[in-house]
Amino acid sequence: MSMYDIILKKREGGILSKDEIDFFIENFSEDKIPDYQASALLMAIFFRGLTKEETFLLTDAMKRSGDVADLSGIAGVKVDKHSTGGVGDKTTLIVGPLAAACGVPVAKMSGRGLGFTGGTVDKMESIPGFRTSFESAEFIDLVNRTGLAVIGQTAHIATADKKLYALRDVTATVDNIGLITSSIMSKKLASGSDAILLDVKCGSGAFMETIEQASELGNWMVDIGKAAGKNTVAFITDMSQPLGLAVGNAVEIIEAIETLKNRGPADITALSLELSAYMVYLGKKAKSPEEGYKMVLDKLQSGAALKKFAEFVDGQGGDPSVVSNYSLFPKAEASREIIALTDGFIKEIEARTIGRASLHAGAGREKKEDVLDLAAGIILNKKVGDAVRQGEVLATLFAGNGQKLEDAYNIAKTAFSISAVAVEKPILIKKIII
């Protein structure tokens, strides 16, 4: 078997076998295949595509290229929740405690953010003392004790994916449904949970901008998850505007806590309840998503989910008093408001633009080695469809110095558009793929 023959076969539209895909991934992972041949195969795949069977085989090979977590020591049905990413998306910090409070073990591995804001791990590190690195036995014990743990994804999970993505990024082969699916699902399957809930974002602040693109990706990922023996469900949700009101790191933790106190923004509260209801259903603690919804709503209203969040923080070495004392979070040095210039209704808050502004304020990374300003970010005062009066504050920006604040302000102010006539609010949950 040779890489030349594999490249030629795919170039001519052939379907790759398990042995051929395993040969490629195994040898590429061990640096036995040069980048120019791997790039040639990626380009052939980009133009010829992958069948779902090929995508499953590629996903499985990439999963096996690194460590595969063994969560068998955790009692119960483990449910993982994954979002394809967006602006202001802090749902993991809400749905985790809601599901865990209902008895569903949530053992989550999260990466660090690259782009608009930090990842879940970065956000949690804005809590004083919070640890995101644990040995496997300690991690399993933590989940068994508290029902919830979030740790940093190890460098040895789906190692082939990291190498392949670096090549895709510089060879214009990122935007291929089979390659996207295998990249996401190889890491999810390697994380060891029994069931997977996917939140696929669509809109200007998401990788998939249209509902058609997001639905196709959701369907492919659900099919691959099921082929791997994992009960998998995908939500298609709106990312045309930021989710919630807070965009950043510490500010998003505070908003998550406020949501667990049942006084969070309407959109993130609604989405978190729906997502966690399905987690409870997938975790076999409810006979239907509707029963799961009643359970998580009770945990929210009773304060049980907030208590679970505090237990989770304490279990990972953080200061649980942040739940009631927000002054413990890092504070930004400078702030500036964006003011409405006219009366009307918010027509658009362009999510990608707000994300870029947050990055320039210091809340995100352009390169992996960039250091985050955990206090930087943006707080919105309005959402699409809201009425606004001239002179009202649309948003407040926070940054570590005046220059970063000025850069972020010049970007963020262009995200807002105001209509003279009433505007409908966007549909938050567009589709559920079961």
Hey, which residues are catalytic here? 82, 161, 168, 183, 187
- Separation CA 232–CA 239 (nearest Å): 22
Say how far apart CA 131 and CA 396 lie, in whole Å.
Answer: 30
For residues 120 and 296, give the distance between their C-alpha atoms in angstroms, rounded to a whole number.
Answer: 21
- Please list, in sequence order, all residues whose beta carbon lies within 8 angstroms of the beta carbon of residue 263, skipping any fewer than 6 positions away: none
Q: What are the beta bridge partners of residue 399?
A: 334
**How far from chain centre, in Å, is Cα 384?**
22
Contact 81, 278 (CB under 8 A): no
HEC-encoded secondary structure of 333-375: CEEEEEECCCCEEEEEECHHHHHHHHHHHHHCECCCCCCCCCC
- Rounded to whole angstroms, the Cα distance separating 330 from 428 reads 31
Do the Cβ atoms of 46 and 173 come closer than 8 Å? yes
**How far, in Å, CA of 261 to CA of 259, rounded?**
5
With 0-12 CB in 10 A as exposed, 13-18 as middle and 19+ as buried, what is 32? exposed
By three-state DSSP, how is residue 29 classified? helix
Which residue in 229, 236, 244, 233 sits closest to 289, CA to CA?
233
Helix (H, G, I), strand (E, B) or coil at 151: strand
Biggest CA pair distance of the chain: 69
Q: Is 426 exposed, middle or buried (0-12, 13-18, 19+ CB in 10 A)?
A: middle
